[in-house]
Amino acid sequence: MTEASSTLMASAELAEDVRGRSLWFDAWRRLRRNKAALTAGVLLLVMTLLVLIGPALSPYTFDFTDWDHVSEPPSLETQHYFGTDAVGRDLFVRTLHGGRISLLIGVVATLVSLIIGIAYGATAGYLGGRIDNLMMRIVDILYAMPFMFFVILLMVFFGRNILLIFVAIGAINWLDMARIVRGQTISLKQREFVEAAVACGVSTPRIIFRHIVPNLLGVVIVYVTLTIPQVILVESFLSFLGLGVQEPFTSWGALVNEGAQEMESALWMLVFPASFLALTLFCFNFIGDGLRDALDPKDR
């Protein structure tokens, strides 16, 4: 190899781009050191996998009535691992199935409110002035509406419907999200880097989505992890009132409701769904706290 080509190689090596350490990466490193949040994360992952593939591990389906084993306690022999309910359905499968619905409602309703809330809040906050005023007054008006009451009324008239639950929860939650995002946006808008982007001629939508939104994602993520359990609880509350998902489908809330009615004679009907529900709520809250610490701009 000639000398010239070897120095060329050397400079090419030097020109290899150094990888940057993003703030997300820093946050991830901090999160990894948080044992409680990490454990909660792993548990939640296991829980998700379990509700997804668990029902396939049982010989029973969630709506199959086993007339030979009605209201029986857990037993490995009959393969009713969590026992059966008052009409002979397998509780192991039903608990996991209910978990699917509960988690789905939690995640989907939160995502819906998240998307609407971010778009709405960031737009209002960034545009400011009269538009902001108008948009936030609309939020105030919607806040004053007794949505839960409407939903209960609607369900009484038209029967239970999982879609109504989504709508009800989403309609309430995006208002909070929009307010939080708007506040963050207003403070971000005054930061110099946004001004710098304006001075560079960057278009308004691009400023909102490239400069504002990534910087408020930290707060939003924390809020999301704390909202999902809240939504799950609201759904449980509705189920407890007998207004949740429609039979034979079920959710943790509905199962806890049924279990509570048989509490004295068949404790297992309450214990399994209730502990799955509680564990999930705990996990979300621990992760939310961990994320808040990890994303906290204070020690940056």
Partner 1 sequence: MNQPLLRLEDVHVHFPIAQGLLKPPRHLRAVNGVSLAVEPGTTLGIVGESGCGKSTLARAILGIHPPTHGKIWLGDQELTSMAPKPLRAMRKRMQIVFQDPLASLNPRMTIGEAIMEPLRVFFPEMSALQRKRKAQTMMERVGLLPNQINRYPHEFSGGQCQRVGIARALVVEPELLLCDEPVSALDVSIQAQIVNLLMELKQDMGLTMLFIAHDLSVVRHISDRVMVMYLGKVAEQAERDALYQAPAHPYTQALIQSVPVPDPVIERGKSRAPLSGDLPSPLNPPSGCTFRTRCPKAQSACATDVPELREHHGGQGAVACHFA
Q: Are 230 and 145 in contact (CB under 8 A)?
A: no
Three-state DSSP state, 236: helix
In the complex with partner 1, which residue's Cβ is closer, 209 or 282?
Answer: 209
Q: Which residue has the tokens 């409602």?
A: 105
Least distance (Å) between residue 180 CB and partner 1: 18
As measured in angstroms, the least distance from the Cβ of 28 to partner 1 is: 14
DSSP 74: P
CA distance 110 to 113: 5
Q: Whole-number minimum distance, CB 129 to partner 1, in Å?
A: 11
Minimum CB–partner distance for residue 300 and partner 1 (Å):
7
Given the complex with partner 1, which of 143 and 193 has the nearer CB atom? 193
**HSE of 190, CA atoms in CB hemisphere, 13 A:** 6
The residue (of 59 and 297) whose beta carbon lies closer to partner 1 is 297
With respect to partner 1, which residue has the nearer C-beta, 50 or 197?
197
Least distance from partner 1 to the Cβ atom of residue 250, Å: 42
SS3 83: coil
Q: How far apart are CA 136 and CA 142, in angstroms?
A: 10
Which residue number, 87 or 202, has a Cβ lying nearer to partner 1? Answer: 202
Distance CA 275, CA 270 (A): 8
How many of the other CB atoms lie within 10 Å of CB of 210?
13
Which positions touch partner 1 (CB under 8 A)? 14-24, 191-193, 195-203, 210-211, 214-215, 300
Between 170 and 218, CB nearer to partner 1: 218
Instruction: Judge whether 255 and 86 are in contact, CB under 8 Å.
Output: no
Tell me the closest approach of the beta carbon of residue 4 to partner 1, in angstroms.
Answer: 21
- DSSP-derived 3-state class of residue 202: coil
